[in-house]
Amino acid sequence: MTDYNTIKGLFIKQKTTDPVASQAAGGSWSTGGSLNTGRQSPFLFGTQTAAIASHGFSTAPSVATESYNGTAWTSVNNANNARNASARGGAGTSTAGLVASGDALPASPRDTAYTESWDGTNWTEVNDLNTGRLGFGGMCGLQTAALGISGHREAASFAAVANVEQWDGTSWTEVGDVNSARYGGNGSGTTSSALFAGGQLSPGNNSQNLESWNGTSWTETTDMNDKRRLGGSSSDSSSSMIMFAGYYGAPESLSTTNEYWDGSSWTEINDSSTSVGNEAGTGSSSSALMAGGNSSKTATEEWTAPAVFDPIVEGEIFYNTTANAIKANKLTFAAGAWSSGGALNTSRGYTAGFGSLTAGGITGGSPYGGPAGTAVELYDGSSWTSVTSSNTSKSAGFVAGESQTAAVAGGGGPPATNENTETWNGTSWTEVNNLNTGSNNGPAGFGTSTAAVETGGENPPTPDCELWDGTSWTEVNNTNTARRNFGGTGSQTAGIIAAGQGPSTVVALAETWDGTSWTEVGDLNTSRRGSGTGGIQTDALVIGGNPVLTITESWNGTSWTEVADLSSGRADMGVSSTSTSPTTSGLFAAAGPQSGGTATEEWTAPTSITVKSITVS
């Protein structure tokens, strides 16, 4: 018998506490000294042990300034201009700081362009912003090099603006706009590398967006787990950030929840002590400060993560002497969810998708009743780019491809029995050997550019099935139920199809393919046609469908379960077709409904390593 040490290279260790996933995961909040002047939305900058809180709102906009030494707040010289500092933070240190913008309520106009510099003793008015506003969506940087990001303006009917300005120590210059204008978000980083997270897109429409700045432009990246506005944040850099408290969710409520960004993903960490919004935050991801908040709070909380921590290692087994239990570190999957992605350049329905969430593509399609198209676009996980069109117009055809640079597409109309097949090499399309039987009206296609499966389609529906070997198509065993307008996913030796328009009615039927024959398996919970499908044979999603559904169902190899809905109904969409599990790599659903559309939604299911107790008997 092989022992565990031989397999994993680890002995079973004794531990007094369970390991944690990261330094931040081992952190916790504690109570700090109270502000002398309670307020909401103060400017806050510096570190946990040397910070400045200024301005804010109690019964009116304030000029009050206080200094924190890690234990207590001390009142110091007032600022020059009273304002509600809804800029979500300031820039700099306790001896060299900068604040800008803010709400001058009840003065009119309420938008302000004021900028003030702090030298450790006094405030000095310096050059104004180019665009005054009620507050930045986020602010970050140093006294001599700062970014003021997005925000909203009374002059624009309180709408969010995408405008970003950069401070060089003397004056402000307008630079690249954010992709999603919002206010009440949070910024972190420097003028050459920054983040902008969360905020409010419009009243009642909170955001979980995260955008990164490279010194020239903004790029949308991994969304937060929660929609959040008017909370606090702290960070070391553009690759390490904590978002805390604020207004959470949609519909929203005051929150104690916190999230940590490690440069690629968000992780829930320990809650703060009290639910609060309109607070301010500063510091780092390992040592942060939160002060003020709604109802003129004086409370301060301090976040501290351990300098030395015991990290989780997948597969490690250990004995917890405190809990008197044997435990293991296990990879687990969080519930999947949909979030907004980049918009297509060409509106359409009846499309076909290929590749992955971050390196995929979409081809063909048309609005309902409109002419079939040749437009092809590629997706990088953030935005779509139009590339070389296909040679033949296709609507409601199929595409199979494991990557952004290798796919095979065919079928679709016109004509009603289209046999055309084309291959894609990442640059251009080439016409190759036709299908044996023409296929229109939503056949399913899946697999790779050299080993694909095509089945179904037509009107009336057909059970025909063909295999592609990179050169030609071969007819093989038919499906059990003829159908059209449906999707499939998987590989040439292990695939699954589901839903569609059967000979007489819309169906919920699903079938699996083993490389030789089709087998009927458990039905979907909801019948539909025009749905999208992605994943692998044992871990698949069926998405949307007619009558313009938001419903998503997940297949675990045995049964279907309804999971998170799309944000808006869609049908006849393109879905990324990479043959990996959607619970680990994600997928996109783009375009649709039939009338045409440009919206993209992204499905992700974050993974984490968690501690599980082992029952010994």
Residues 6+ apart with CB under 8 A from 583: 333, 336, 535, 539, 605, 607
> Which of 577 and 519 is assigned the larger pLDDT?
519
Could you give the C-alpha distances from 198 to 148, 188, 380, in angstroms and in order?
A: 15, 12, 22
111 plus 66 within the same structural domain? yes
The domain tally of the chain equals 2
Where does the pLDDT of residue 122 fall: very low under 50, low under 70, confident under 90, or very high at 90 and above? Answer: very high
Task: Say if 211 falls within a structural domain.
Answer: yes
Question: Among the listed ranges 99-103, 237-241, 278-282, which one has the minimum average pLDDT value?
Answer: 237-241
Q: 266 Cβ partners below 8 Å, 6+ apart?
A: 210, 222, 223, 224, 225, 259, 260, 606
Burial of 256 (0-12, 13-18, 19+ CB in 10 A): middle
Indicate the burial class of 589 (C-beta count within 10 angstroms; 0-12, 13-18, 19 or more).
buried
Residues 6+ apart with CB under 8 A from 214: 192, 193
Vertex 537: Cα angle to 531 and 542 (nearest 5):
20
Token output for 450: 């050299």
Count the neighbouring beta carbons within 10 Å of the beta carbon of residue 265.
Answer: 15
For residue 89, being part of any structural domain is answered with: yes
Both 153 and 200 in a single domain?
Answer: yes
Is pLDDT of 200 > 60?
yes
Angle at 451 between CA 449 and CA 455, to 5 degrees: 100
CATH number, residue 341 = 2.120.10.80
At 455-505, the pLDDT tens digits run 999 878 999 999 999 999 999 999 999 999 999 999 999 999 999 999 989
- Mark whether 64 and 109 lie in a shared domain: yes
Based on the fold, state whether residues 185 and 237 are members of the same structural domain.
yes
Cβ atoms of residues 136 and 146 within 8 Å: no
Which letter does DSSP use for residue 501 in this model? B
Q: Is residue 434 part of a domain?
A: yes
Same domain for 266 and 364, yes or no, is: no
For residue 580, pLDDT beyond 80 = no
348 and 297 together in one domain: no
Query: How far from chain centre, in Å, is Cα 498?
Result: 27
User: At 9, is the pLDDT very low, low, confident or very high (cuts 50, 70, 90)?
Assistant: low
What pLDDT is recorded for position 1? Answer: 40
Residues 80 and 204 in one domain: yes
Query: Do both 167 and 113 map to the same domain?
Result: yes
Q: Residue 502 pairs with which residues in a beta bridge?
A: none
The answer to whether residues 196 and 137 touch, using CB atoms and an 8 Å cutoff, is yes
Shortest CA distance to 364 belongs to which of 398, 328, 321? 398
Range of the domain at 435: 337-492+571-607
Whether residue 510 lies inside any domain: the answer is: no
- CA 98-102-106 angle, to 5 degrees, is 145
- The answer to whether 149 touches 164, Cβ cutoff 8 Å, is yes
- Is the separation of the CB atoms in 357 and 381 below 8 Å? yes
Residue 253 binned pLDDT confidence (cut-offs 50, 70, 90): confident
The confidence score (pLDDT) of residue 2 equals: 46
Go through 196-220 and write b for each residue having 16 or more CB atoms within 10 A of its CB, e for each that does not. Answer: bbbbbbeeeebbbbbbbbeeeebeb
* Same domain flag for 241 and 348: no
Same domain, 32 and 91: yes
| Same-domain check for residues 255 and 393 | no
Among 255, 281, 304, identify where a domain stops: 304
pLDDT band for position 10 (cuts 50, 70, 90): low
b/e per residue, 326-339, with b = 16+ CB within 10 A? ebebeeeeeebbbb
Is 140 inside a domain boundary?
yes
* Alpha-carbon gap, residue 259 to 450, rounded angstroms: 43
327 belongs to a structural domain: no
Average pLDDT over residues 302-315: 88
pLDDT for 316:
85
Q: What is the pLDDT averaged over residues 584-606?
A: 82
**What tokens were used for 486?**
């449906």
Residue 389 inside a domain? The answer is yes
Instruction: State whether 122 and 256 are in the same domain.
Output: yes
DSSP letters spanning 588-608: EEES-STT-B--EEEEE--EE
Give a yes or no: residue 6 inside a domain. no
Report how far apart, in Å, the C-alpha atoms of 229 and of each of 185, 196, 250, 289 are: 6, 12, 11, 18
